[in-house]
Amino acid sequence: MSATANTSTAEEVVSAEVKVCSGCNHRLSPEARTMAEEMHKNVTMGADSYLHMLPHVKDDRIKTDITAAMCYYEKLAGKIKEVLREGGGEPKEGSMMAKMSARAGITMNTAMDNTDSHIAQMLIEGCTMSITTATKLVNHAEGKEGTEELREMCRDWAKFEEDHIEALKKFL
């Protein structure tokens, strides 16, 4: 995603290209399959959390940022699915218990404080967790067969999250 001076726009996020090897028809190594499954689980969990948070947000600018980020997550999840299916795998969803726990946490947090600043703080914390996950996936896959494309996708995902944090800081 391109960003200008520490901000991003919804249009930039929606038009952000999710890079993937188009037309690749190769089997995934076990390491690559595990990595892609973990990526998919985390990206879809992020999208689900954002979707659940949206009704609690008052500021239309934050709603726009959340909606744009959800578009990016959906694009990325779609590309990961594509890589998995082309490589002989199937995407895995996060557990229902994990989703319910995240949703309950969002509901409780926003019930106690639904100010723009607190919502932005919660989103930034989620972005930070995504950066940590993406970075761990890249580091653990370093030098492992068939993971270069996925490592690149993780680096792009982490960059997206960094840019999203910068855009959210104005609400703190």
Tokens 């218990």, located at residue: 97
- Dihedrals φ, ψ of 79, to 5°? -70, -40
The band of 27, judged by pLDDT with boundaries at 50, 70 and 90, is: confident
153/156 Cα distance (integer angstroms)? 5
The residue ranking higher by pLDDT, 82 or 24, is 82
Q: Which two tokens stand for residue 148?
A: 């270069």
CB 66 within 8 A of CB 123: yes
- CA angle, residues 36, 39, 42, in degrees to nearest 5: 150
**pLDDT value for 23:** 44
- The percent of the chain in helix, strand and coil, each rounded to the nearest 5, is 75, 0, 25
Q: Measured between alpha carbons, how far is 23 from 121 in angstroms, rounded to an integer?
A: 39
For 28-40, how does the pLDDT look when each residue is reduced to its tens digit (9 = 90+)? 899 999 999 999 9
Q: What is the mean pLDDT of residues 150-161?
A: 97
Q: Across residues 107-118, what is the average pLDDT?
A: 92
Q: How confident is the model at residue 5 (pLDDT cuts 50, 70, 90)?
A: very low
Residue 7: beta bridge partners?
4
For the segment 39-58, what is each residue's pLDDT rounded down to a tens digit?
999 999 999 999 999 999 99
> Considering the entire predicted model, what is its pTM?
0.81
Q: How confident is the model at residue 149 (pLDDT cuts 50, 70, 90)?
A: very high
Phi, psi dihedrals of residue 81, rounded to the nearest 5°:
-55, -45
- For the chain, the residue count is 172
Write the pLDDT tens digit of every residue in 62-101: 999 999 999 999 999 999 999 999 888 778 777 888 889 8
- Residue-level pLDDT at 78: 94
Separation CA 115–CA 119 (nearest Å): 6
